[in-house]
Amino acid sequence: MIKPDKNNISRETLACLIIDDPLLKPRYGCLDYKKLLEAMKEHNFFTEIAFIPWNYKRSSPETVRLFAENPEYFGICVHGCNHTYNEFGDSNYEVLSALSATALWRMEQHKKLTGLSYDPVMVFPQGLFSSVAMKTLNDQGFIAAFNSTLRATDGDDLPASEYQLPATSIYNDLPLFLRRYPKDKHLFVEDIALGRPILMVEHPKVFCNGYKFITDTVNWINSLGNIKWTSLLSITEYYFGHKDCADDFRQSSNPSSPQFSNRTKIALRRFLSELRDNYIEPSSFLTKVYKMLRI
C-alpha cells in the first residue's frame, strides 16, 4: 500500500459520501435524512444522493426543504434513468442516447417541481456501463460519471496507469471517477497519496444498525489529512474545470419524455426494489427469510 508523505497530507483532499437509490422522503428504508443531517453536522461530512430519475414526481416537500436549507451537506446527482438491470451496459447508441436524454429531462422536471438543482453527473446502476454509454452521456451534456469499476461492459480492463489518476478520460474524454465501499477504506490512504478524491459509496441499508459505522469511517478519513467534503459537481470542477455543456443542453433542448414500451416492467421492478429497501432490509427477520428465498 502507498503511504501518504508529508506534502500529500497537507494538500487538500476532496471527499464525498454517495448513497444510491433512496427517494427524497423523510425516511427511506433505514435512512432517516434528519438523523443523517445531524450526523453530518457533528462529524463534518457531505452526502450526495444518487437519485433515480424515474422517481422525479415522488419527492416529499418536507425532505426537499431539508435539502434546500442545507446545500453544504446534501446534493443530488443522476442514478441511471429507470434503474432497470444493466440499463447503461447496453451498446446500442440510440437506446442509450434516449435513456441519457430522458434521465436529464426527468431531473429537469424534478428541479421545476421542487426547486432543487442537481449535479449533471451519472452514477451507473449496478456499476454496469458500456463505452457507448459514456459517449451518449458526453453527447447529452453530462460532465462526469462515477462508478465502482473503470471497466466497461464492452471493453477490457484499463492499464494500471489509469487507476493512478483522479479520473480516467479514456472514454470519449468524459471523466470517469472510481468510488469505493467502506470495506475497501484502506485504499482511501492511497487515494490521498495520489491526489485522488475520496469517493465512498453506500446504500440506505448501511444505516440499519445506526449511523456509527459511517461516522466512525468518516472520523477515520478526517484523521488522515486535510479532507474537504463536498459535492460531486465540485469534485469534477476541481479536477476538470467548469463546463457549460449541461447548461447548453438544458437551454437548447426541449425533449418530450420518451415513451418506453416496457413501462409496466420498469414500475414492477421499482416497486419490488422499494419493498426490499423499506420493509425487508430494515427487519433482520425478513432479511433472513429474503436471503433464504433467494438461494
**Which residues make up the interface to Zn ion (CB under 5 A)?**
20-21, 125
DSSP secondary structure letters along 86-126: TTTT---HHHHHHHHHHHHHHHHHHHHHH----EEEEE-GG
CA dist., res. 137 & res. 131, Å (int): 10
Nearer to Zn ion among residue 51 and residue 229 (C-beta): 51
Give dist(CA 144, CA 173) in Å, integer.
9
Which residue, among 227, 206, 176, 193, has the nearest Cα to 20 in the 3D structure? Answer: 206
Per DSSP, the three-state class of 243 is: coil
Residue 205 or 243: the one with the smaller Cβ distance to Zn ion is 205
| DSSP E strands, the chain | 12-20, 27-28, 31-32, 47-51, 74-79, 119-123, 144-147, 176-178, 198-202, 226-229
Question: With respect to Zn ion, which residue has the nearer C-beta, 55 or 138?
Answer: 55
Nearest residue to Zn ion, by Cβ distance, number only: 20
Q: Nearest approach, Cβ of 88 to Zn ion (angstroms)? A: 11
Q: Nearer Cβ to Zn ion, position 15 or 52?
A: 52
Q: How near is the Cβ of 178 to Zn ion at its closest, in Å?
A: 17
* Shortest spacing between CB 261 and Zn ion, in angstroms: 23
CB of 124 to Zn ion, least distance (A): 9
Q: Closest distance between Zn ion and the C-beta of residue 3, in Å?
A: 34
Measured from the CB atom, the residue of 97 and 147 that comes closer to Zn ion is 147
